[in-house]
Amino acid sequence: MEQRHSSTVRRQAANPPKDSKQRILDCSRTLFSERSFAQVSLKDIAEAAGVSAPLIIKHFQSKENLFEQTVDFTVSAQSLFKGPFEQLGITAATETLTAPTTASYSIIRTMTITDGSERSLNAIGARIKRDILNVLATRIEQEAPLPYPAPELRAQAAMALLTGLSLMRRVGDTEFEHYSQEELTTYYGGLVQRIIDGRPTPDN
């Protein structure tokens, strides 16, 4: 009986619960949203997820690999690009100005907490393209009133503007709070809408 119990324990150790990998990802994403890459240890992640540090290494090989797999901007895209196309500029500007500064799906937040390696930056760039640029380009291609410039170029320009706005809000302008949110939303929302519509300059 004891031998059978020992065999069961060994099988359970060799085959941890299927949700352990997802728990590690979820807890890592939360910790990385609260602290920088350097400030989060494997021990911190293991304690938060209720697993051992060796199990994290088994699943992800290194903390760098784990961080790269926590990068996910799908929630950001859903918030930025929801609703009617003709209101997308206002929607995206509003989300950029009101999203929590520590949100794990924030591009600026993710860029500031990374270890700064070329590999990590490339991984972030690949997710930005897949999760955000491609989603916006598809909507532009299907719904924009004008066919030119290319949807991909318009998506890139719009996100450059929104990312710049996010940067100014967080660290780039110490007097940012002096602007009214309504003024910022109207101004930036109008610029973004003209870009994605295919009208980069105001109508005369």
Contact, 17 vs 44, CB < 8 A? no
Reading the block at residue 24, the tokens are: 């590690």
Mean pLDDT in residue range 130-137: 96
Reading the block at residue 51, the tokens are: 């697993």
Q: What band does 11 get if pLDDT is binned at 50, 70 and 90?
A: very low
Q: Which residues of 161-191 are buried (b: 16+ CB within 10 A; e: fewer)?
A: bbbebbebbeeeeeeeeeeeeeebbeebbeb
The full set of domains in the chain, from first to last, is 2-70 (1.10.10.60), 74-197 (1.10.357)
Contact, 139 vs 191, CB < 8 A? no
Distance CA 20, CA 110 (A): 24
Distance CA 42, CA 21 (A): 14
Question: pTM score > 0.85 for this model?
Answer: no
Write down the pLDDT at residue 194. Answer: 97
Contact, 76 vs 132, CB < 8 A? yes
Span 68-100, pLDDT tens digits: 888 889 989 999 999 999 999 999 999 999 988
Q: What band does 18 get if pLDDT is binned at 50, 70 and 90?
A: low
Mean pLDDT in residue range 108-121: 83
Mean pLDDT in residue range 133-155: 96
